[in-house]
A and B are shown apart, each in its own frame.
Chain A
Amino acid sequence: MTIGLAHYLVLAAALFIIGLIGLTIRKNIIVLFMCVELMLNSANLTILAYARQFNDSDFHAAALFVMVIAAAEAALGLALVVAMFRYRGTADSTKLTLLKG
């Protein structure tokens, strides 16, 4: 059995959905970050799968961009989480309801 494009796409979709569900149901913000990373990686996986399919190296640059942005986002986001934990004493996302109308 050769592993083709469809397998990659199914894997990426599965990862994306796991990340999305984790993002909606988990409470710890650190875990939420991990879920976001999972979704970013699933997107990356899709991009690279198509790059391979169409033999177009421009997509590689896009994947690199995503990784750089993910790294920067993780650094900034973790700093924010730490700052918020110090300020509010919790990292539980359900306690953060300042946007309540």
Chain B
Amino acid sequence: MHQINMNFINLIPLFPLLGAIFCFALRDKKPSILCGITASLMVFLSFVSSTASVFALSGAASPAGTETVIVSNNFTWISAGDLKIGCDLMFDRLSAVMLFVVTFVGFLIHIYSIGYMIHDKDSNRFFSYLNLFVFFMIILVTAKNLVLMFVGWEGVGLCSYLLISFWWSDPANAAAGRKAFITNRIGDFAFLSAIFILYWLYKSCGFETGFDFIKLAENFKALSAALPSSGFVVIVDLVCVLLFIGASGKSAQIPLYVWLPDAMAGPTPVSALIHAATMVTAGVYMCVRLGFLFAASALALKIIAFTGVLTAVFAAVIAMAQTDIKKVLAYSTVSQLGFMFIAVGCGAFTSAIFHLATHAFFKSLLFLGAGSVIHSLAGEQDIMKMGGLRKLIPGTFTTFFIGVYAISGLPLMSGFFSKDEILLYSFAGPHSSAIFYALATLASFLTSLYMHRLLFLVFYGSFRGDAKKYGHIHESPAIMTVPLYILAFFSIFSGFIVFFKSLNFKTLLASYQSAIAAANISHSSEYSVMGIALTAAFAGLIAAYKFYISSNDYLSKINNAFAAFIKIQENKFYIDELYDLIIISPLKSVSIFLHKIIDVKFIDDYIVGGTVRGFKYINSALSDAQSGRVQGYLSAMAAGLAVMTVYVLYNSIR
């Protein structure tokens, strides 16, 4: 690993931080477009500086066979004994991909938000949080060590909480924010435990790394030689599984996915930026960044792939029965994140990041498109009250259409290339398995089905909502549609990057990929996987067409035949209720016991109240003694005098 020092990469996180401070200072002022423009500009400047870093990175000469990394060693942040953790940033090819997604998509969503939030009285605060989020996300992806990454990790969690409950005056929104925050804490606990075990592991073998990613990776080989192999495998398995639990909290995997659908309570641009494009992919990024660890743990990879596959199918099944446009997209995000984890679990880290990037484009496009639909319908989110919007909001329709095609994996769209790679690796990759492949293909079929269901119900057929509203439907302003067009462009074309050999995408993350033995994938299996994936995608499209456009007979027949199942499906398999029963209710009972018995009764009443009552008693006794009757004092004095006299006399006699 060839490191070059360039301090200007510090500018990348600096701009959004300044924007956040500026907008936060104006939070109580009258909302103006100034904050929106400043915030967008800051993210744009951040985008420019990360692009400049890309050129600096590709221009830097590096010794043959090594990868170049730009680092900025700023200052020592934590110094405890011989543990030194720096507040240092790094910029390598993986960070470059992530930064492109974060700053570019972030910039477009900021622009869109100017139009979306213009009528909100708190829009200054909104932009402050949004910029703060971008700052923490940049810290997360550019951190040079695991601990600083954790700071970004927690920071984006905080911003997610602030933005989900942005309209906090409605208790439901505040509750959704709390749910996201608390669910993430469970994952973070596992993440922190993994950090501690990792420290202990390196320390016990005499390596002092300061959690620096580069040093961690460099010392990892020596570490495996220094420990007895069986014990080493157990510890690495443990660390990787704990890290994955952390990732599954942030990236909404089973069993910690429940917060993401509720997170849709936030404003739609937030759903697009945080809960689709960037923050929720942080778990995937973390797994790839620590790929050298995961590659050494076959058990963890199996668990990851299994969880990913399960999540991808499960969330897709739930998505099919949802009627809230944002909820459908939320479950779709959960399902797509499952795909990314299938890639990680099959050892195809590059494919995971590829799908992460293309997903960022088409999913933020879909969310912003949904936001535009909601905006046109003055806040209506129920797809059963939409329909026939194709002619009324053509710009939104076109871009949404592209987004649906991209996510469904129909030919030549970005989703086709990235999903195909994942399916290929689950079929023929180094850690592939027939079950993973079959279920992933099923999930891809379901993806196509529920996305087309959404498309047909919203834009085709006839309008099913309130007739009075029909006349007011209008296309969103250009400030909202232009970002849609740009994202649509990338949703179509970002997949073509695989054809540009000069960009070298396949080896973009070579250092991460090389940890896994290169798989020999024959062309025949490549084509057959592609054929099956296309068949699945088209089957989904045709099924949705049959159900929702050509005739309603099929649908009603199926609905009748599987009425009980569909009821369960509509209620999201009662997972929230199940969690409520087995976790939340017992926890609540214990909390109530601790509150009512231990806290109120024992601590407050007996210990604190007892002390107070004791002093009150002493006080009243002393107060009674001071009766105000001088003769009383005199008798006390005389009695004292008498006692002293007797004492003196007694002593003198003795």
Residues of A whose CB lies within 8 Å of any CB of B are: 20, 23-25, 93-94, 96-101
In whole angstroms, what is the CA distance A98 to B627 when docked? Answer: 9
A-contact bits for B622-641, CB 8 A (1 contact / 0 none) = 01001111110011001000
Of chain A, the residue at the smallest CB distance from B624 is A101
Using CB atoms, name the residue of chain B closest to A93.
Answer: B631
Q: Mark B351-362, 1 if CB is under 8 A from A, else 0.
A: 000000000000
Where chain B touches its partner, the secondary structure class is: helix
What's the count of A-B pairs with C-beta under 8 Å? Answer: 29
Q: Residues of B contacting A20 with CB < 8 Å?
A: 638
Q: Which of B604-654 contact A (CB under 8 A)?
A: 623, 626-631, 634-635, 638
Contacts of B638 in A (CB 8 A): 20, 24
- Beta-carbon nearest neighbor of B639 in chain A: A24
Inside 8 A of A100's CB, which chain B residues have their CB?
626-628
Give the residue name and chain of the A residue nearest to B634 (CB): A24
Note all chain A residues with C-beta closer than 8 A to B631: 23-25, 93-94
| A101/B628 in contact, CB under 8 A | yes
Contacts of B629 in A (CB 8 A): 93-94, 96-97
Residues of A within 8 Å of B627, CB to CB, are 97, 100
Inside 8 A of B628's CB, which chain A residues have their CB?
96-101
Residue of B nearest to A20 (CB): B638
Name the residue of chain B whose CB is nearest to the CB of A97: B628
Residue of A nearest to B631 (CB): A24
Besides the known contacts A24-B631, A24-B635, A97-B628, 7 further A-B residue pairs in the complex with CB atoms under 8 A apart: A24-B638, A96-B630, A97-B627, A98-B628, A99-B626, A99-B630, A100-B628
Mark out the residues of chain B between 574 and 630 whose CB falls within 8 Å of any chain A CB in the assembled complex: 623, 626-630
Across the interface, which residues of A come within 8 angstroms of B626, CB to CB? 99-101
Encode B392-406 as 1/0 by CB contact (under 8 A) with A: 000000000000000
What are 6 residue pairs bridging A and B, where the CB atoms are less than 8 Å apart in the complex? A23-B631, A24-B634, A94-B629, A96-B628, A96-B629, A97-B628
Docked-complex contact A23 and B623, CB < 8 angstroms: no
Closest chain B CB from A46 CB (angstroms): 15
CB-CB under 8 A from A24, the residues of chain B are 631, 634-635, 638
**Once bound together, how far apart are the Cα atoms of A97 and B623, in whole Å?**
14
**Nearest A residue (CB) for B629:** A97
The one of A23, A96, A97, A98 that contacts B634, using a Cβ cutoff of 8 Å? A23
Which of chain A's residues have a CB closer than 8 A to the CB of B634?
A: 23-24
Distance from A60 Cβ to chain B, minimum over Cβ atoms (Å)? 28
How many Å lie between the Cα of A19 and that of B306 in the bound state? 102
In the complex, which residue of chain A has the Cβ closest to the Cβ of B633? A99
Q: How many Å from the CB of A17 to the closest CB on chain B?
A: 9
In the assembled complex, which residues on chain A have CB atoms less than 8 Å from the CB atom of B623? Answer: 101
Closest to A95 in B: B629
What are the nearest 3 A-B pairs in CB distance? Answer: A100-B628, A101-B626, A97-B628
Nearest B residue to A98 via CB reads B628
Distance from B396 Cβ to chain A, minimum over Cβ atoms (Å): 81
CA distance A94 to B630 in the complex (A): 9
Contacting residues, chain B, for A98 (C-beta < 8 A): 628
Report the separation of the CA atoms of residues A98 and B626 in the bound assembly, to the nearest whole angstrom.
11
User: Could you tell me the distance between the alpha carbons of A101 and B633 in the complex, rounded to whole angstroms?
Assistant: 13
B154 CB to nearest A CB, Å? 57
- A25, A98, A99: most-surrounded residue (chain B CB, <10 A): A99
Residue of B nearest to A24 (CB): B635
User: With A and B bound together, what is the CA distance between A24 and B635 in angstroms?
Assistant: 6
A20 to B631, CA, bound (A): 10
Chain B residues lying within 8 Å of A101, measured Cβ to Cβ, are 623, 626, 628
**Assembly CA distance A23 to B629 (angstroms):** 12
Q: How far is the CB of B544 from chain A (nearest CB, A)?
A: 88
A96 to B631, CA, bound (A): 10
Q: Report the minimum CB–CB distance from B523 to chain A (whole Å).
A: 102
Residues from chain B with Cβ under 8 Å of A99 in the complex: 626, 628, 630
Alpha-carbon separation in the docked complex, A98 to B629 (Å): 8
Residues in B neighbouring A96, C-beta threshold 8 A? 628-630
Q: What's the Cα separation between A5 and B626 when bound, in Å?
A: 41
- Cα-based distance from A57 to B630 in the complex (angstroms): 37
Q: Tell me, rounded to whole Å, the shortest Cβ–Cβ distance linking B653 to chain A.
A: 17
Closest residue to A23 on the B side, CB-wise? B634
Q: Which residue of B lies closest to A26 (CB)?
A: B631
**How many Å from the CB of B647 to the closest CB on chain A?**
18
Which chain B residue lies CB-closest to A21? B638
Closest to B623 in A: A101
Q: How far is the CA of A96 from the CA of B629 in the complex (A)?
A: 7
Chain A contacts for B630, CB-based, 8 A: 93, 96, 99
Most chain A beta-carbon contacts within 10 A, residue among B623, B627, B630, B635: B630
Min distance, Cβ B374 to any Cβ of chain A, angstroms: 72
CA A85 to CA B378, docked complex, whole Å: 89
Determine the chain B residues whose CB is within 8 A of the CB of A93 once the complex forms. Answer: 629-631
List residues of B (72-88) whose CB comes within 8 Å of A's CBs. Answer: none
CA distance A25 to B635 in the complex (A): 9
Complex Cα spacing A96 to B638, Å:
20
- With both beta carbons as reference points, the residue of chain B lying nearest to A32 in the complex is identified as B631
CA distance A94 to B634 in the complex (A): 13
Complex CA distance for A95 and B631, rounded to whole angstroms? 11
Task: List B residues 15-58 near A (Cβ within 8 Å).
Answer: none
| Min CB gap A66→B, angstroms | 20
Q: How far is the CA of A98 from the CA of B631 in the complex (A)?
A: 13
CA distance A25 to B638 in the complex (A): 12
A97: which B residues are within 8 A, CB to CB? 627-629
In the complex, residue of chain B having the shortest beta-carbon distance to the beta carbon of A99: B628
A99-B626 Cα distance, complex, nearest whole Å: 8
Which of A23, A24, A97, A99: most chain B Cβ within 10 A? A24
Q: Which residues of B contact A23 (CB under 8 A)?
A: 631, 634
| Complex CA–CA separation, A37 to B623 (angstroms) | 32
Q: How far is the CB of A57 from the nearest CB of chain B, in Å? A: 30
Question: Whole-angstrom distance between the alpha carbons of A101 and B630 in the complex?
Answer: 12
**Distance A97 CA – B629 CA, assembled complex (angstroms):** 5
Q: Mark B108-150, 1 if CB is under 8 A from A, else 0.
A: 0000000000000000000000000000000000000000000
A70 to B630, CA, bound (A): 20
Shortest Cβ distance from B628 into A: residue: A100
C-alpha spacing A101/B621, complex, angstroms: 12
CA–CA, A91 to B101, complex, Å?
Answer: 97
CA A99 – CA B623 in complex, angstroms? 12
Minimum CB–CB distance from B620 to chain A (whole Å) comes to 11
Bound form: Cα–Cα A100–B624 in Å: 9
CA distance A25 to B628 in the complex (A): 15
Q: Write out the residue numbers on chain A whose beta carbons fall within 8 Å of the beta carbon of B635.
A: 24
A93 to B630, CA, bound (A): 8
